[in-house]
Structure 1
Amino acid sequence: MLTTATFRHTIANACGLMPHQRVLVTVSGGADSMALLHLLVAVQQPVVVAHCNFHLRDDESDGDQAFVTLYCQTHELPFHVRHFNTRDFAAQKGISIEMAARVLRYEWFDQLASETGCSHIATAHHANDNVETFLLNLTRGTGIRGLSGMAMCTGKLIRPLLHFSRIDIETYCRENHLTWRHDSSNDCCDHTRNHIRHRIVPEFCHINPSFLATMHNTMARMQELEAMLGQQVEAFRNESVADEEGIQIIPLSRLSNHPQKGLILFELLRHKNFNATHVADIIASLKGLPGKQFLSPTHRVIRDRHNLVVTPRHEASETETFTIAGDITQTENPLRLHLRTFERPADFRFSTDANCIHLDADRVDFPLTLRHWRMGDAFMPLGMSNFKKLSDFFTDEKMSLLEKENAWLLLSSDNIVWVVGRRVDNRYRITNTTKWILEISLGEKNPQGF
């Protein structure tokens, strides 16, 4: 039963809310959000009210705004409203209207909470919402997280009504003479959530009158299972996964031998927008040849010889070039190079450092050019008298796909002088007739250069 006493107990014990903490209350004007606002005021919790007008229901949307505005003015409550062009945002981002509204409102809630000094953001999700979300996720296919339901607290976000049913909330509203707005879009069963709400859940409640309580207990157990899984994933991450400058490296030997490798990999990749189908394809590739790529909207996974390499997706330009003029002694972008020319001394010794080369300066024409490799590129590796395709050179060097993509070439008059950090072209080597030497050394790479 929803009363001020049960509500006070919930926000103190389940939400960890202190009496002096200011709360941003998200109020649509419906029964659930009006009850939430009334309860917070009744227990003397400092509040700031936030209302979103998504302009999705024409006059109804404006009516909701007017209703909430009047209530706040009547009760002298601080009030903020934000208008959103939700349809245009959804089209621009290529997402659903529902997802667009969610992104827009939570971004604003976070911003407004900071601006108004609110420690928490309270939404009016209730037990029915939780069950509907569970069933919706179940029909779409989901993992443990999707069956765990919403949490009472997620960071600064709290859901104080989560354990109360829609009937509890509407009963509270009537007992306290609260009026509310009705959202007509919730009546149409063409939407999956509404179909679940109006047709599926009532059938379950007919079979089991305590269905909501049963589901609450089930989701609580799933949350415990999710927490246990989270501990296992973190243990695997800490013991086996390396993160190097935004690149995640997962050893195949450790992953392949894990009895729950699919589940572990899904948890490692889900924040990078990989879904269950992606993960199943990656797992299937573990027994195949290296080199295959798997793409999410934001990241990619490269199945290397010994690892899965996870990187952000960058649209690298093969045509992007950087020029080095003849009077330049140091570059910073895309690589940090140091250049100097000097007369060959009698006791000259070649560098044995792969990141420092010596060239016959008279054979090098400036300006030099830096670029990534392109299909068909070839050069004459030091010590050879014939040309070799770079793709074959990379294979001989056992370079990963990521290393190939990040390889830089130094060119003179369109001829490859140096596969940077790897091999000099034989045509530019120091010979017995060399009088002037061009020394080029590679410092730390500029991260923005890749």
Structure 2
Amino acid sequence: MPHQLLTNFTSYIQGQQLFDPSQKVLLAVSGGVDSVVMATLFKQAGFNAAIAHCNFQLRGEESLRDEAFVRALAAQLSLPFFQVSFNTTGYAETHQVTIQVAARELRYEWLEAIRNQEGYHYIATAHHMQDSVETALMNFAKGTGIAGLHGILPKQEKVIRPLLFAEKDTLIAFAAWKNIQFVEDSSNTTDKYTRNFFRRQVIPRIQEVFPAAVKNMAATTERIREAEYLYQEAVERKKKQLLVQNGNTWMVPVRKLQHIKPLSTIAWEIFRHYGCSAAQTQQVLLLLGSESGRYVETSTHRIIRNRNWLLITPLADIAAPLQVIDAEQQHVHFAGGQLHIRQEKRDPHLPIPTSPFIACLDASQVTFPLLLRKWKQGDYLYPLGMPKKKKVSRLLIDQKLSLPEKEQVWVLESAKKIVWVLGLRIDDRVKITPKTQSVLQIEWKKISGE
């Protein structure tokens, strides 16, 4: 009932703990009935608030009319007023997004800037019960999983929605009862946008069969929201059992994942955080029965079957650059860590270090500048102790390196020949011999997590 709206409004804010009455709230007001009623309720409740309005310059004179109306409303309610105009179309073209996405990004970025600059605690939007139900239905149609079925949340970080308890009809009735003026957005009368289609076509048809559908669905989304807490707790327990971190790679044991229940749900909750779509999650599950080396590549990661593990490794944003090392350099910093280089007269009484991270080379067989780079197909060397050349790719297979490990292998090149595959093997042609007089020692200190 409209005459109970103010009481229900303050009770909802208190019950949901949206904000403390002493805190300042920035109200996003478009000029439509929802946001105008919200501003009126804030004023009547005596809360400390200000009005913020965005002119997206999408409806010509109508956009200017809305701006003037909201400015006058702020004056009428004696509330501080903030306003901005956006070139929304230009932003959408530059960022290659839809007009709706452009408007939303511009709006929230500006509101947050004002909130922060002017010392407001929260931003309030006028989303109501129907908005939340529409969101849940759209998410259900798109297939977003349980997280999309809770509708619009009352509070997300610094954004609050104090009207989610109210039906649209109640807001309209309150405006009529209090003789509150508002403006109509002509874009709300078209079914061009997805939300308007659900608002004007889908929900009214459902209400023909179930008149209380909106209220019932809103109650269901509330129960789903509570069930989601329990669901997420269970999911987190399963993820802790399955995910093992090794540097920037995450590892999932194949056998454990195969026996987890429910498999598809847990797999989706794990792999969606690594850019995996619902369809790709099914492809990942096929890796459980495949041989090593098979992988699924998402927009951000590669998920690889490697023996008894699924390895989740980030895609390299850019190729590792080639690094030139001059004879004078003693310390080299690169993406894989650091090289420490020193040349000294050979002492035949000192043993040659056996660490794979130290290369001791005959200085007379090495020509500067050296080139440090990632290995590539076609690379080869004469591994220490072997009279025949061997492809680096074959060497890595023999070492049983996983695909992510192979992608992190570096080589040192001298005069177009590889003298060291870092951490694995030096070339036989540059080894220390009884005739060696000067030793070039190169120590590799790997970065943490490598």
Provide the TM-score with structure 1 as the length reference. Answer: 0.93
Measured in 2, the distance between the counterparts of 1:342 and 1:93 equals: 57
Identity of counterpart residues, as a percentage?
A: 34
Q: Cα distance, 1:248 vs. partner?
A: 2.8
Q: Cα distance, 1:446 vs. partner?
A: 7.9
AA of the residue aligned to 2:234? Q
Select which of 107, 118, 123 maps to 2:125: 123
Residue 298 of structure 1: aligned partner: 300
Answering whether residue 366 of structure 2 is matched by residue 359 of structure 1, we say no
Structure 1: gaps (5+ residues): none
Measured in 2, the distance between the counterparts of 1:79 and 1:195 equals: 33
Instruction: Verify the 8 A CA contact 2:290 2:305 in the aligned structure 1.
Output: no
Deviations 1:58-81 (A, max 9, x none): 222222222212211333322222
Deviations 1:190-227 (A, max 9, x none): 33322221122112222122111210121122222322
Select which of 183, 200, 219 maps to 1:181: 183
Deviations 1:139-168 (A, max 9, x none): 222311122211112222211111211101
Residue 112 of structure 1: aligned partner: 114
Deviations 1:209-251 (A, max 9, x none): 2111210121122222322221122112333313455433333
Structure 1 residues 305 and 183, CA gap change in structure 2 (3 angstroms):
farther
Where does 1:310-389 land on structure 2 (aligned, <5 Å)?
310-317=312-319, 320-334=321-335, 335-389=337-391
Q: Which deviates more from structure 2 when the two are superposed, residues 48-57 or residues 341-350?
A: 48-57
Structure 1 residues 256 and 424, CA gap change in structure 2 (3 angstroms):
same
Where does 1:206-285 land on structure 2 (aligned, <5 Å)?
206-285=208-287
Instruction: Verify the 8 A CA contact 1:360 1:429 in the aligned structure 2.
Output: yes
Q: Cα distance, 1:16 vs. partner?
A: 3.5
Instruction: Verify the 8 A CA contact 2:32 2:183 in the aligned structure 1.
Output: yes
Measured in 2, the distance between the counterparts of 1:104 and 1:352 equals: 60
Q: What is the total number of aligned residue pairs between the two structures?
A: 447
AA of the residue aligned to 2:356? A
Where 1:332 maps in the other structure, the secondary structure is strand
Where 2:360 maps in the other structure, the secondary structure is strand
Structure 2: gaps (5+ residues): none
AA of the residue aligned to 2:304? I
Where 1:248 maps in the other structure, the secondary structure is strand
Q: Cα distance, 1:401 vs. partner?
A: 1.3
Measured in 1, the distance between the counterparts of 2:248 and 2:78 equals: 49
Instruction: Verify the 8 A CA contact 2:362 2:438 in the aligned structure 1.
Output: yes
Measured in 2, the distance between the counterparts of 1:297 and 1:59 equals: 42
AA of the residue aligned to 2:332? T
AA of the residue aligned to 1:242? V
AA of the residue aligned to 2:41? L
Q: Cα distance, 1:384 vs. partner?
A: 1.2
Residue 148 of structure 2: aligned partner: 146
Select which of 190, 193, 196 maps to 2:195: 193
Q: Cα distance, 1:186 vs. partner?
A: 1.3
Where does 1:426-437 land on structure 2 (aligned, <5 Å)?
426-437=428-439
Instruction: Verify the 8 A CA contact 1:333 1:446 in the aligned structure 2.
Output: no
Residue 396 of structure 1: aligned partner: 398
Q: Cα distance, 1:30 vs. partner?
A: 1.0
Where 1:286 maps in the other structure, the secondary structure is helix
Question: Over aligned residue pairs, what C-alpha RMSD do you find?
Answer: 2.0
Structure 1 residues 410 and 270, CA gap change in structure 2 (3 angstroms):
same
Q: Which deviates more from structure 2 when the two are superposed, residues 84-93 or residues 4-13?
A: 84-93
Instruction: Verify the 8 A CA contact 1:357 1:440 in the aligned structure 2.
Output: yes
AA of the residue aligned to 2:183? R
Measured in 2, the distance between the counterparts of 1:271 and 1:65 equals: 41
Measured in 2, the distance between the counterparts of 1:418 and 1:390 equals: 11
AA of the residue aligned to 1:380? Y
Q: Which deviates more from structure 2 when the two are superposed, residues 32-41 or residues 55-64?
A: 55-64
AA of the residue aligned to 1:411? E
Measured in 1, the distance between the counterparts of 2:58 and 2:241 equals: 49
Q: Which deviates more from structure 2 when the two are superposed, residues 370-379 or residues 79-88?
A: 79-88
AA of the residue aligned to 1:29? G
AA of the residue aligned to 1:218? T
Structure 1 residues 93 and 243, CA gap change in structure 2 (3 angstroms):
farther
Residue 426 of structure 2: aligned partner: 424
Where 1:56 maps in the other structure, the secondary structure is coil
Measured in 1, the distance between the counterparts of 2:293 and 2:88 equals: 41
Structure 1 residues 397 and 267, CA gap change in structure 2 (3 angstroms):
same
Select which of 149, 163, 166 maps to 1:164: 166
Select which of 414, 417, 432 maps to 2:416: 414
Instruction: Verify the 8 A CA contact 1:24 1:122 in the aligned structure 2.
Output: yes
Where 2:165 maps in the other structure, the secondary structure is coil
Measured in 1, the distance between the counterparts of 2:106 and 2:234 equals: 34
Where 1:5 maps in the other structure, the secondary structure is helix
Measured in 2, the distance between the counterparts of 1:175 and 1:126 equals: 19
Deviations 1:352-373 (A, max 9, x none): 2111111111101111111111
Residue 82 of structure 1: aligned partner: 84
Measured in 1, the distance between the counterparts of 2:113 and 2:303 equals: 34
AA of the residue aligned to 2:49? V
Structure 1 residues 101 and 289, CA gap change in structure 2 (3 angstroms):
farther
Answering whether residue 54 of structure 2 is matched by residue 47 of structure 1, we say no
Measured in 2, the distance between the counterparts of 1:202 and 1:157 equals: 29
Measured in 2, the distance between the counterparts of 1:355 and 1:142 equals: 48
Measured in 1, the distance between the counterparts of 2:304 and 2:111 equals: 37
Measured in 1, the distance between the counterparts of 2:431 and 2:234 equals: 54
AA of the residue aligned to 1:445? I
Instruction: Verify the 8 A CA contact 2:43 2:77 in the aligned structure 1.
Output: no
Q: Which deviates more from structure 2 when the two are superposed, residues 122-131 or residues 50-59?
A: 50-59
Q: Cα distance, 1:291 vs. partner?
A: 2.6
Where 2:34 maps in the other structure, the secondary structure is helix
Provide the TM-score with structure 2 as the length reference. Answer: 0.93
Where 2:27 maps in the other structure, the secondary structure is strand
